[in-house]
Structure 1
Amino acid sequence: MPARTASDQPEQAQGRLHRLNLVMILPLIVATGVLLVAMDSRTWWHAVVLGLGVAAAVVTFARWAAGDLSRVAVPCLAVAAPVWPVGALLIDSGTAFYGISFVGAHVIPQLRRRRGAAAVLLSGFVAAVGAAKLLTEGDDSGDLIKYLIVPVGVTAALTGLMFPNKRFYDVVADLEEAREREAELAVARERIRFASDLHDIQGHTLHVVKLKIALAQKLLHSDTGRVEEELREVHALIADTISQTKELAYAQRRLNLSAELENAKNLFEAAGIRVHVDRAAGFDGRPGELLGQVLRETTTNILRHAQADEVWITLSQSGITVVNDGVPDTPLPELRGLAALRERVVDNGGELLVEQEDGRFRTAAAFPAPRPGATSDNA
């Protein structure tokens, strides 16, 4: 299936509205035009001349309904404009303005500028022809109404109605485009979320594998049994990462806070870092998953960027706090993983703070405390 562009949605919405107008209104336009021609025609050439005005009106409306009026605007105006003076002065038809008023009313709102002047010019043209008829042949108030008041009034009213009509279609287009942009933004956000989750999984794994392989190299000639154990853990870790990546691709990935806490503790100890864990509460559901992601990302950052000797992990009723020492005085590089996590934490009603002070780095994520009596799968 071809991909839809950003403009497809507004075009489809406007197309449905235009087709609805075409089905409902075009038959009325044709029927009215035929009736007026039949009423005012006394010879075949009268019917031909008046019919040209009706034909121009029908073509104009059909192309307007198709959203392609610009191609026929000038030809239709050129055909409809002479019908009114010929009809009024030679055929004595008070309805010959039908074509020019209809065509002009649809064309003028489509102009990019000077639409007001064009509307005045259209009404002035209709009035001038009617005034010419009154000056040459008009002899009573009936002719005044027939050739001047009604034609000018209908033309002005029809033109005035088409301006809000044009604005309505513009608003529909803007709304549809805004909805399309919102959908595109949602897709972009989901892609960013997916990329961030993928970074959480694979970035963490790669750094742990690097750490374990470095440890295995140190022990290669002194403790082959420990080397084999480290390599088995590397193999298992890679297998688990492949499984998590597949789960992520099918939107099935769920982080377990307890497992992440134990994993972080083991990693820090393997790297020779003392770990102090104070666990007073647990979280389940989405907060628990996000806190697990924060802990995993923080663990990766400590192993990558700090020369830590000690790490303090506190899990309280409000969230999790991770503090580590061994932070250089120079500013740390941009921690993009935590920046992406901050957005997700905030979107789920929490907050994520990072602070660097006196050689220590503090990462704290907090959510509203669980309701009394609530259970926790991660407790």
Structure 2
Amino acid sequence: MPEHTEPTRRRLRKLNLVMLVPPLAAGGAAVVVVDSRTWWDAVILASGVVAALVAFERWTARDLSRFAPFCLIVTAAVWPLGVLVIDSPGASYGLTLVGSLVVPYLKRYRAAAAVGLVGYVAAVGATRLLVSSDDVSDVLLQYVVLPAGAVAVITGLMFPNKRFYDVVEELQESRKREAELAVFRERVRFASDLHDIQGHTLHVVKLKIALARKLVRTDPDRVDSELREIYSLVSDTIKQTKELAYAQRRLNLSAELENAKNLFEAAGIRVRVDREAEVDTRADELLGQVLRETTTNILRHAQATQVKITLSGSGITVVNDGAPQTPLPELHGLATLRDRVADSAGELTVEQTDGRFLTAATFPRPGTAPMEDR
């Protein structure tokens, strides 16, 4: 089961159990109490109700297929017993519920199965005419029209219900793919940055080595100079690569803000940006790093539907929903940035409460406490 879909399924399952099990159980209990004349009648009718509740519970867990045959057999047997022996129009209760759950989820011949289910309920109900001396119209109404009509209506309503759940799963799967694509794009951008750092240097080094090979016998001093430049280039490249790997390369907050918006929108996440004031330019680079790391964490660790980014004169605040109820894994990137922000007289705050995750980086306002030079 896809990890992004599982939480949604659990929420829908809990909602269905809390909202529908009590009225379904109460309706079944009413059928047993009203229509039972002996304890044996109560056992038969209760077995149909229990089978229906089991089927519904398994349906909410998306595990109905294993229990469907048993539940159908029990409820299909209770209905004729209710018609011919117990004199219970409500004996169709269990079959109505189980059938309406099973039929829409068949892979093939669902329409034929729906017609067959309604036909079975009507045909069995009509057999009441063989053992009853009541008015024919009353018998047909109680045992044929009402039970068959209830089965038809409820089963018909379950078809769009199934489509609703299918759409939810499709949306969740699409959102998962979009998030993966957003992370992939971030990796591509990282690879592009790495190429920018190393590609040019390696090309220059290649040319200088080729030149040194030509001059090694004729101009040793020039060769020595070229080798010194190569050494310097390689050292500088190693430094820049480390900075890139540890999110320490100089970034632009405006560019990172635009990139974050594009990534969130690509992942199907609503994003809102509030600019309360212009950010202190001395904190621009660090805030860009915080925003980049926070964006990556949201895409990888949350199931966010909306993100709010607030820019103020003292820093940046990013709040997202969809945070897991369990503690997040250690976020090494933010831990590293917290030290760098602290070194610049700032503070990085991370909070997780009630499904919301907040990341905030703040610095003293200009004129209150100078930031250390980076």
Which of 177, 202, 205 is the equivalent residue of 2:201?
205
CA distance in 2, matches of 1:8, 1:251: 28
Rounded Cα–Cα distance in structure 2 between residues aligned with 1:144 and 1:16 = 42
Distance 1:112 1:67 in 2: 14
Deviation at 1:252, TM superposition (A): 4.3
Distance in 1 of aligned mates of 2:6 and 2:162: 15
Q: d(CA) in 2 for partners of 1:44 and 1:255?
A: 78
Please give the residue correspondences for 1:1-379 in structure 2 after superposition, counting only pairs within 5 Å.
7-140=2-135, 141-254=137-250
TM-score scaled by structure 1?
0.63
- Is the contact made by 1:123 and 1:156 (CA closer than 8 Å) also made in structure 2? yes
Q: What amino acid sits opposite 1:242 in the alignment? A: I
CA contact (8 A) 1:126 1:151 kept: yes
Residue type of the alignment partner of 1:91:
I
Q: Given the superposition, is the C-alpha separation of residues 79 and 209 from structure 1 closer, same or farther in structure 2, using an over 3 Å criterion?
A: same
Q: Secondary structure at the match of 2:63?
A: coil
Q: For the residues of structure 2 that align with 1:9 and 1:162, how far apart are their CA atoms? A: 25
| CA distance, structure 2, for counterparts of residue 185 and residue 212 of structure 1 | 39
For 1:23, the aligned partner's letter is: V
Q: Distance in 2 between matches of 1:130 and 1:218?
A: 102
Aligned to 1:259: none
* 1:228-266 alpha-carbon deviations (Å, 9 max, x no partner): 32222111111111122122223443599xxxxxxxxxx
**Which piece of structure 1 moves more, 169-178 or 211-220?**
211-220
* 1:110–1:255 Cα change, 3 Å: closer
Structure number with greater CO (CA < 8 Å, separation at least 6) is 1
**Is the 8 Å Cα contact of residues 11 and 173 (structure 1) preserved in structure 2?**
no
**Which deviations, in whole Å up to 9, do the C-alpha atoms of 1:2-42 show, x marking residues without a partner?**
xxx7x222233123212210122112211211121011111
Instruction: State the SS of the aligned residue for 2:127.
Output: helix
Distance 1:112 1:138 in 2: 43
What is the alpha-carbon root mean square deviation over aligned residues?
Answer: 2.3
Count how many residue pairs are aligned between Structure 1 and Structure 2.
255
Shift in Å at residue 83 of structure 1? 0.4
2:73 maps to a residue whose letter is A
In structure 2, C-alpha distance between the alignment counterparts of 1:50 and 1:251, rounded to whole Å: 67
Distance 1:255 1:100 in 2: 65
| Matched-pair contact (CA < 8 Å) for 1:216–1:230 | yes
Residue 125 to residue 195, structure 1, CA distance change in 2 (3 Å):
same
Query: Is 2:55–2:71's contact at 8 Å kept on the other side of the alignment?
Result: yes
Q: Are the aligned partners of 1:14 and 1:172 in contact in 2 as well (CA < 8 Å)?
A: no
CA distance in 2, matches of 1:214, 1:285: 41
Q: Distance in 2 between matches of 1:126 and 1:69?
A: 21
Q: Which amino acid aligns with 1:192?
A: V
Deviating more after overlay: 68-77 vs 237-246? 237-246
Cα distance in 2 for partners of 1:132, 1:211 equals 97
Name the SS of the counterpart of 2:81 in structure 1.
Answer: helix
1:131 is matched by which residue type in structure 2? A
Letter in 1 for 2:25: V
Which residue identity is paired with 2:5? P
Residue matched to 2:334: none
Question: Is the Cα–Cα contact under 8 Å of residues 28 and 49 in structure 2 kept in the other structure?
Answer: yes
Which protein is bigger by CA-based radius of gyration? Answer: 1
Shift in Å at residue 194 of structure 1?
2.0
In the alignment, structure 1 segments of 5+ residues that lack a partner are 257-283, 287-379
Instruction: Name the SS of the counterpart of 1:83 in structure 2.
Output: helix
Q: Equivalent residue for 2:366?
A: none
Q: Is the 8 A contact 2:89 2:143 kept in 1?
A: yes
